[in-house]
């Protein structure tokens, strides 16, 4: 087979998955429909996408964080909530004190206190970013290409046939062979439709708009998120960027052009002002249709990102969920291709990521429910506003939005199992995160025991054994991490070596 994997779609998820697969030494071809990677919809503030903790952590662990950060529009350290603008953001706006929102109701950064989270460690990845899609894709493409990934643009996947040992993919007038096909081709995924994945969910109630405009009388609009009796308008961040949520029963035909006149009429209605749009540079629309593939794998075809789950952008979860899919799938698919994956490893991809996608759909549905333009919804909004303004409420919402408590349902009793590993700092000043840069599993021995070192030698090649003293070991004696940085096993004292070895086999098969 010429390629191990073909990925349809060079969006952020397809490119990050290609990077992960390239890192694991598989041969990857990415087929992208669009000839030109640039688009005014992906550039600058129009392409703004919030990156949450798991995404930032993933980039940090793979050594991409510096470049992702430099390409971003703004960045926020958890230690001092409030976004600092980057020079690329081309705006002189003051730093934003923004910690997130729920249906346009702001979280008060000053009320957030995560100190009760036992395993949370402040480090370089304790941050959130406002990326531009274009900047992010550029960084991911660059890193993927360095690993030997091929990207062919102007190549829409139009068909494929699957046999017992591979897939033949047709793109444009050419066909390509691979062992596995992954659809990262967005919400209207051709791969998903051709493969016959069931895409279950709910129909939309609103049309949303994101636009870059010049406004004649900007003082008529309030800054930030504004929930109104007719929907919501968002003024900023970035000069001339507006967002709109119009409860029109999703009646707008999204194949129709958005004109200055139509956008102005909606902005006036939703904002209840007579504001005037002078110039419309670019605009796009979306809805709150919420659907998810019931499984992420059918035979040799897999889905990730928007191809697997769609929902409204409320709360900024789509990209983050997709990047999480890629981090989860990459090493499992690579292990399957390399032949060392345990029997059911690839199926744990759906088992772990489907619930995360289902949560994102529900998180956005809950926001739609309280934004509806009726008195009942508005009454619930008042209740939520009161709750968000309490310390517990602010913590609850930020924990959900930031993804810091994401936990997979993995076997084992320790409270860290299934969670992302804390970025422990070692006595020599180095940290845990970069130990995952090569994409292999990690057996971290925090109490330097001979038995663990022997076990580490036995599993060398599958799992990297590292003994290190942590400045604050959080009461941990040893940890087993999967290549995605999630904890598969942990011990506070006297590691149970039988349980550890069973867990290593469960994720890594047999010794190399």
Ligand X SMILES: Cc1cc2nc3c(=O)[nH]c(=O)nc-3n(C[C@H](O)[C@H](O)[C@H](O)COP(=O)(O)OP(=O)(O)OC[C@H]3O[C@@H](n4cnc5c(N)ncnc54)[C@H](O)[C@@H]3O)c2cc1C
Q: Minimum Å distance from CB 169 to ligand X?
A: 9
The DSSP annotation for 380-427 comes to: HHHHHHHHHTSHHHHHHHHHHHH-TT-B---SSSSTTTTBBPP-PBBT
Q: Which residue's beta carbon is nearest to the bound ligand X?
A: 11
Q: Pull the structure tokens for residue 460.
A: 């060398």
How far apart CA 334 and CA 21 sit, in angstroms, is 6
Q: Minimum Å distance from CB 79 to ligand X?
A: 22
* Alpha helices per DSSP H over 209-259: none
| Shorter beta-carbon distance to ligand X: residue 233 or 508 | 233
| Shorter beta-carbon distance to ligand X: residue 13 or 221 | 13
> In degrees to the nearest 10, what's the CA dihedral of 113, 115, 120, 122?
80
How far apart CA 66 and CA 60 sit, in angstroms, is 8
Q: State the first-to-last Cα distance of the chain, in angstroms, to the nearest integer.
A: 24
**Exposure string over 376-402, b if 16+ CB within 10 A, otherwise e:** ebeeebeebbeebeeeebbbebbbbbb
Q: Minimum Å distance from CB 455 to ligand X?
A: 39
On the question of a cis peptide bond just before residue 237, with omega within 30 degrees of 0, the verdict is yes
Task: Enter the DSSP assignment of 107.
Answer: P
Q: Minimum Å distance from CB 46 to ligand X?
A: 8
Q: Pull the structure tokens for residue 16.
A: 């990050």
| Shorter beta-carbon distance to ligand X: residue 192 or 464 | 192
| Shorter beta-carbon distance to ligand X: residue 49 or 332 | 49
Q: Minimum Å distance from CB 99 to ligand X?
A: 14
Q: Pull the structure tokens for residue 95.
A: 């730093």
| Shorter beta-carbon distance to ligand X: residue 33 or 462 | 33
| Shorter beta-carbon distance to ligand X: residue 103 or 481 | 103
- Report whether 1 contacts 166 (CB < 8 A): yes
| Shorter beta-carbon distance to ligand X: residue 125 or 473 | 125
Q: Minimum Å distance from CB 448 to ligand X?
A: 40
Q: Minimum Å distance from CB 42 to ligand X?
A: 8
| Shorter beta-carbon distance to ligand X: residue 256 or 343 | 256
How far apart CA 395 and CA 67 sit, in angstroms, is 30
Q: Which residues touch 213 (CB under 8 Å, ≥6 apart)? A: 240, 242, 260, 263, 277, 278, 279, 280, 281, 283
| Shorter beta-carbon distance to ligand X: residue 50 or 238 | 50
Q: Minimum Å distance from CB 162 to ligand X?
A: 16
Q: Quick one: how far is CA 366 from the chain centroid?
A: 20
Q: Minimum Å distance from CB 447 to ligand X?
A: 39
| Shorter beta-carbon distance to ligand X: residue 290 or 479 | 290
| Shorter beta-carbon distance to ligand X: residue 32 or 484 | 32
Q: Minimum Å distance from CB 137 to ligand X?
A: 8
**Exposure string over 35-57, b if 16+ CB within 10 A, otherwise e:** eeeeeeebbbbbbbbbbbbbbbb
Q: Using DSSP, state whether 71 is helix, strand or coil.
A: coil
What residues make contact with ligand X under the rule CB under 6 A? 8-14, 31-34, 49-50, 156-157, 184-186, 190, 210, 286, 305-306, 313, 316-320, 322
Cβ neighbour number for residue 251 with a 10 Å cutoff: 10
Burial group, residue 257, by CB count within 10 angstroms (0-12, 13-18, 19+): exposed
Greatest Cα-to-Cα distance within the chain, rounded to the nearest angstrom: 75
| Shorter beta-carbon distance to ligand X: residue 239 or 313 | 313
Q: Which residue has the tokens 């029997």?
A: 343
Q: Minimum Å distance from CB 43 to ligand X?
A: 13
Q: Minimum Å distance from CB 12 to ligand X?
A: 5
Q: Which of 272, 280, 274, 269 is nearest to 240 (CA)?
A: 280
How far apart CA 418 and CA 409 sit, in angstroms, is 6
């Amino acid at each position: 087979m010429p390629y191990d994997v073909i990925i349809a779609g060079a969006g952020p998820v397809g490119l990050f998955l290609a990077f992960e697969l390239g890192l694991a030494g598989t041969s990857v071809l990415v087929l992208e429909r669009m000839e030109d990677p640039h688009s005014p919809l992906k550039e600058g503030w129009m392409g703004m996408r919030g990156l949450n903790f798991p995404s930032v952590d993933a980039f940090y662990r793979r050594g991409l964080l510096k470049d992702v950060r430099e390409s971003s529009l703004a960045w926020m350290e958890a230690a001092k909530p409030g976004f600092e603008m980057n020079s690329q953001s081309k705006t002189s706006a003051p730093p934003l004190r923004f910690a997130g929102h729920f249906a346009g109701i702001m979280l008060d950064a000053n009320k957030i206190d995560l100190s009760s989270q036992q395993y949370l460690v402040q480090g370089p990845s304790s941050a959130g970013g406002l990326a531009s899609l274009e900047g992010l894709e550029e960084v991911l493409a660059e890193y993927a290409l360095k690993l030997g990934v091929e990207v062919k643009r102007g190549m829409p996947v139009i068909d494929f046939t699957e046999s017992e040992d591979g897939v033949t993919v047709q793109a444009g007038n050419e066909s390509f062979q691979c062992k596995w096909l992954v659809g990262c081709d967005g919400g209207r995924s051709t791969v998903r439709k051709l493969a016959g994945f069931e895409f279950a969910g709910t129909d939309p109630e609103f049309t949303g708009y994101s636009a870059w405009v010049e406004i004649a009388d900007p003082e008529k609009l309030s800054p930030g998120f504004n929930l109104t009796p007719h929907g919501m308008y968002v003024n900023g961040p970035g000069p001339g960027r507006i967002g709109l949520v119009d409860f029109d029963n999703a009646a707008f035909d999204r194949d129709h052009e958005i004109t200055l006149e139509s956008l102005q009429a909606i902005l006036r209605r939703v904002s209840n002002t007579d504001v005037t749009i002078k110039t419309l540079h670019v605009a796009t629309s979306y809805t709150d249709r919420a659907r998810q593939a019931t499984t992420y794998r059918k035979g040799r075809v897999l889905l990730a990102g928007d191809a697997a789950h769609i929902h409204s952008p409320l709360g900024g979860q789509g990209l983050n969920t997709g990047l999480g899919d890629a981090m989860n799938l990459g090493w499992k698919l690579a292990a399957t291709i390399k032949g060392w994956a345990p029997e059911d490893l690839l199926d744990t991809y759906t088992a772990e990521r489907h619930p995360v996608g289902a949560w994102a759909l529900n998180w956005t549905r809950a926001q739609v429910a309280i934004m509806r333009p009726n008195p009942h919804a508005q009454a619930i909004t008042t209740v939520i506003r009161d709750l968000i303004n309490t310390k517990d409420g602010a913590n609850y919402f930020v924990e959900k939005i930031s993804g810091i408590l994401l936990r997979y349902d993995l076997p084992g009793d320790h409270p860290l199992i299934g969670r992302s590993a804390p970025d422990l700092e070692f006595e020599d000043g180095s940290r845990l995160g970069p130990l995952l840069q090569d994409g292999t599993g990690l057996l971290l021995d925090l109490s330097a025991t001979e038995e663990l070192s022997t076990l580490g030698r036995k599993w060398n090649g599958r799992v990297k054994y590292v003994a290190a003293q942590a400045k604050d070991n959080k009461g941990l004696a040893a940890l087993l991490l999967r290549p995605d940085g999630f904890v598969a096993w942990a011990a506070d004292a006297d590691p149970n070596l039988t349980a550890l070895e069973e867990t290593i086999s469960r994720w890594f098969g047999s010794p190399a």
